[in-house]
Amino acid sequence: MAYERITVDPNRMRGLPCIRDTRVTVSAVLGQLAAGRSVEDVLDDYPYLERADVLAALEFAAAAVQERELAARHAGLDAVRLLVDANLSPRVAAHLSSVGFEAVHVADVGLLTAADDVIQASVAAR
């Protein structure tokens, strides 16, 4: 499958399908929609996405469920200071900060399209 707006890079988000080389996974967008959010709500929460990105995520998912084999990956996160990934809206980082956590969103520190190793190095350097 070749989708212009969906990218898979083993060095970004552990190889999960992402939107346009960002760290926003297809599953994050689908999860928002499955939770009853509208496309407009998703675009408000993720200002760096476009309507075509959301539709591409839906198209990708529709094709993926037709595949014989689906892969799932799970990763844990242990941190006191939070670097909020693009799977979550920048509003999440703002909310966490407002309630006392040290949180920053990847888009706010220039890491929206960064590979996993760059993210890890950034976190280690903080």
Please give the tally of structural domains in the chain. Answer: 2
Reduce the DSSP state of residue 49 to 3 states and report it. coil
Exposed / middle / buried, residue 68 (Cβ in 10 Å: 0-12, 13-18, 19+) = exposed
pLDDT in tens, 38-75: 999 999 999 999 999 999 999 888 777 665 433 333 33
Q: What is the pLDDT of residue 76?
A: 40
15, containing H or E segment: none
Could you read off the pLDDT of 85-126 as tens digits, one per residue?
887 888 878 877 776 778 888 999 999 999 999 988 887 787
- Single pTM value for the model: 0.64
Run of H or E including 67 = none
Give the domain extent around 24. Answer: 6-64
CATH number of the domain encompassing residue 38: 1.10.10.10
Residues 44 and 87 in one domain: no
